[in-house]
Structure 1
Amino acid sequence: MGDQCALSSANDSNSGPPVAVPALRWEELPEGPVLILLDQTRLPAAEVELVCTDVQTLVGAIRSLAVRGAPVLGLAGAYGVALAAARGFDVDDAAGLLAQARPTAVNLGYGVRRAVSAHRRALASGADAEQAAAAALAEARALHAEDAEASTRMARHGLGLLEKLSPGGGYRVLTHCNTGALVSGGEGTALAVALAAHRGGLLRRLWVDETRPLLQGARLTAYEAARAGMAYTVLADNAAGSLFAAGEVDAVLIGADRIAADGSTANKVGSYPLAVLAHYHHVPFIVVAPTTTIDLDTPDGASIDIEQRPGHEVTEISFPQAPVSEAGGGMLVTPLGAQAYNPAFDVTPPELITAVVTENGVASPVSAASLAALSPPCGPGHDQVMG
C-alpha cells in the first residue's frame, strides 16, 4: 500500500471559487510522480489532499469515495495507469485493479483503456519504458482537457434546453447527489448547468437533496453552491415530494454513472424516485452527462451492474471531521446487528427522462437512436438536438 497523507486543510469552505482545490492533479515530486486527490470524504469540514504513489492507494481512495463522480473517475483511471507506468509497476495489473474498483461507473474503465492503449502503442512503436509512461500521461492529460471542454459545452446545451422548456428564467432546479467541479475536469455536469443559469441571473433557487446515506448533496453540492454564491436550500431526500406537490420545482437536473444504449440511466440511488415524481407532476427530468458515460455495449437498464455498498454506511453515521471507513467506527443509529440494503445507484428508464444533455447536443426524446447519434464516433462539432 502506498502513501496517503494530508497536504492541506486551511481553506475556508464558505467563500471563494466553486472549488478552491482541484478534485485531482498530477505532480512531479523529487521522489517521483504522484497523483494528488482532494479527499471528498472530509468535505465540507476541511480541504485535505491525499497523495497516491501507487495504484493500490488510488483504488482504496476510489472505493472509499475520497474521489468519486463518473467523469473524474475516468481521469483517475487514466492517471492511475500513467502512475503505474511512471513508477515501474505492471501496467496491465494496475489497469485490472483500477477498472474493477467501482463496477457501475463506465468512465472509470474508459479512462483506464485509453491510457493503456496509449502505453501499448508507444511500446509497439519501439518506445522505451520511460517514453511509454510519458505517452500514458499525455493521454490522461488529453482526457482531462477533453472533459473540461465537455463540461463547458454541456452547460451551454443544458441552459439552452432550460430556456426552451421554461422561457423567462427564474428557475427552481432540484438536483441529487453531487455533479459539479468535484466530479469533473471542468465545472461538472448537471451542476454546471445550474451554475450557468446562476451566472446568467436565471436561477431562482437550487434545491439540494441531502442524498442519503453519504450526504453527497448536503456535504458536497451545498459546499460548491455556497462557494459560487448560488441561492440554495438543502432538503431531506424524502421531502422532495412535497416540493413537487407545492409547484416549487421547474426542472430536475441529475448526472449519470452509466447510460445504457436504450437510455436507461444509472445514477446515485434516489434518482429513480425523483423521476417518478417529476413525471407525475409534469416537471422536466434532465440527465446531464458526457458521451463517455453512454455505454452502447450495455443494452438496457437490467444489464447495468449495480454496486452494493457496505451496510454500515446506512446503520452508522460518520462525520467529515472524523471520517471512518470500517464498520463500527461511526455512531450507530440502528439496533445492533440490523441488516441494511445499500445499493449505490438505481436505474431510471428512458420513458421517465425528458432529455439527456451531452457535450455533443441534446437527445430528446431519449431513445437508442437519439443517443447513438450523439455518441462516439461523433466528436466536437456535432452539436445537435435529436427529436
Structure 2
Amino acid sequence: MTQQAPTLQAIKYERGSLQVLDQLRLPFETVYKDVPNSQQGHHVIQTMKVRGAPAIAIVAALSLAVDLHSSFSASPASFPDATSVSTFITTKLTYLKTSRPTAVNLFEAAGRLSSIVAAAATSSPPATAESVVNAYLSAAEAMLDRDIEDNKNIGRHGAEFILRHNPHGGDMVQVLTHCNTGSLATAGWGTALGIIRDLHTHNKLSHAFCTETRPYNQGSRLTAYELVYEQIPATLVCDSMASALLKTKKISAIIVGADRVARNGDTANKIGTYQLAITAKFHGVPFVVAAPSTSIDLQILTGDDIPIEERNGVEVVQNRGRLMGSAGGDGREGGDVPMGTVHVAAPGIGVWNPAFDVTPAHLISAVVTERGVCVKKAGQNVFDLKSFLA
C-alpha cells in the first residue's frame, strides 16, 4: 500500500504567465512572485528567490518564454523575420546564463534551446517570425513536464539502490539529506528529496534527517518545509551533528543533489556536501548523488575545473527569520508575520563564503540519474559517466 501526500508546486506556468514561489519568504510566508520577463527571471535566480540547478534552468527558460510571448503579441512588427526572433532569444539566453555560474543545467538548457531556435530559423519551407516563436515556446514548456518525469525516475532508481545496499539490512531505511533538492529546487518531485519521497510513498522510509545547511539555511527553511508539508517523518539537525548522527543512528544512506558533475564523477554541490561524504566513508554508509543527466558536464574532466561561486559574506554573519515575542509573532500567515534580520558575529571579522564545494568521486557510492544508477567499475576510484550516458 502506498501513501499519498500533497505535492508542493513551486513553479506555476501557463503560456504568457509565470509565477514562482519566493523561497526567501519561506517557511513563514507562502508568496508567489510574478516573473513577467527575462530581466525578472535573472533577478529571482541571482537573488535566490529561486534556487536549485534544475529549477534555475526551467525558470530561466520560462521567463524568456513569457518575455518572448508578451513582446511578440504586443508588437509583432518588432520581429519582422525569423532572424530577428532568433537574435532576440540568443541575446536573452546569454544574459540569463550570467545569473548563477556553477549550476550546469542552465548552460545546458540555454545551449539546447539555442540549437532548437537556430534550426527553426533556417528550416524549410522558409521560417517565419511566428514559427520561431512557437518553436521556442514549445521547447521551453516541454522542459517543465520532462523534469518532473525525470525526477520520478531518479526517485525510483535511487530508492531501489538504497534498499539493495542498506548496510543495516531490512526493508526500512533512515536517510540523511543536505540542502534542498525537492519541488522547490526542480519543476516538481525532486532529485535527492525525490528518492526520499519514493521511499516514503512505498512505506520503506522509517525516518529522514535533514541538515540546516548553513549559511543560507536551505535545509531548515526549505527542506524542512517540504517534509512537513508532505507529512514525511523527519528531523532537523545542525550541519555539525552529522558525524554524531551516523554514529548514533542507523543511517542507511546520505543522499544529496548536484549542481554540476564532472565526467569522472567529482560533484559540485552545496557547501558542506564534501564533509558529509567524508563522514559517510568513515562510517561505511553509502553516499548517493541524485541528479538529472543535464547536471553532468562531460566537457569538464574533473572537479578541479568546476567554477565555484563565492557569495557575499553578509550571508554568514546575518540571519533573517521570524521575530519571537512581539505582536503577531504567533505564526500567522501573510503580511502580519513580523520578520527581522539579526547580526550574529563579531563586527569586523573577515568572512569566506563559497556557495559550493566539490566532493571527489572516490567518496561517492553512486550517481543516480533518470536513466539509472551509475557505479564505479571494480578497482576504479572514478566513474565513467561518458560511457554511462552513451
Q: Secondary structure at the match of 1:18?
A: coil
1-structure distance, mates of 2:382, 2:135: 35
Give deviations 1:282-305, integer Å, cap 9, x for gaps.
Answer: 110000101110000011111000
Selected match of 1:183 from 182, 185, 189: 185
- Unpaired runs of 5+ residues, structure 2, are 72-84, 324-332, 334-339
Aligned counterpart, 1:26: 13
Preserved contact between residue 259 and residue 265 of structure 1 (Cα < 8 Å): yes
Q: Post-superposition shift, 1:340?
A: 1.2
Equivalences for residues 1-387 of structure 1 within 5 A? 17-19=6-8, 22-28=9-15, 33-88=16-71, 90-125=88-123, 126-166=126-166, 167-319=169-321, 330-365=341-376, 370-375=384-389, 378=390
Give deviations 1:118-174, integer Å, cap 9, x for gaps.
Answer: 223222223333332221111012222221111111111111101110242221100
2-structure distance, mates of 1:289, 1:369: 14
After superposition, the Cα gap between the structure-2 partners of 1:231 and 1:316, relative to the gap in structure 1 and judged at 3 Å, is same
Preserved contact between residue 81 and residue 115 of structure 1 (Cα < 8 Å): no
Give deviations 1:335-369, integer Å, cap 9, x for gaps.
Answer: 22322111110000000000001111111127766
2-structure distance, mates of 1:153, 1:256: 16
Preserved contact between residue 263 and residue 368 of structure 1 (Cα < 8 Å): yes
Aligned counterpart, 1:9: none
2-structure distance, mates of 1:155, 1:71: 15
1-structure distance, mates of 2:12, 2:24: 17
Aligned counterpart, 1:382: none
The TM-score with structure 2 as length reference comes to 0.85
Preserved contact between residue 106 and residue 257 of structure 1 (Cα < 8 Å): yes
Preserved contact between residue 27 and residue 36 of structure 1 (Cα < 8 Å): no
2-structure distance, mates of 1:340, 1:271: 19
Q: Post-superposition shift, 1:247?
A: 4.1
2-structure distance, mates of 1:319, 1:368: 41
2-structure distance, mates of 1:229, 1:23: 17
Paired AA for residue 370 in structure 1: D
Paired AA for residue 339 in structure 1: G
Q: Post-superposition shift, 1:185?
A: 2.2
Give deviations 1:15-38, integer Å, cap 9, x for gaps.
Answer: 96131xx2223234xxxx232111
1-structure distance, mates of 2:36, 2:159: 40
1-structure distance, mates of 2:116, 2:62: 12
Q: How many residues align?
A: 350
Q: Post-superposition shift, 1:84?
A: 3.6
Identity %: 38
Q: Secondary structure at the match of 2:384?
A: helix
- CA-atom RMSD, angstroms? 2.1
2-structure distance, mates of 1:299, 1:363: 17
Q: Secondary structure at the match of 1:17?
A: coil
Paired AA for residue 200 in structure 2: H
After superposition, the Cα gap between the structure-2 partners of 1:134 and 1:240, relative to the gap in structure 1 and judged at 3 Å, is same
Preserved contact between residue 192 and residue 290 of structure 2 (Cα < 8 Å): yes
Preserved contact between residue 97 and residue 107 of structure 2 (Cα < 8 Å): yes
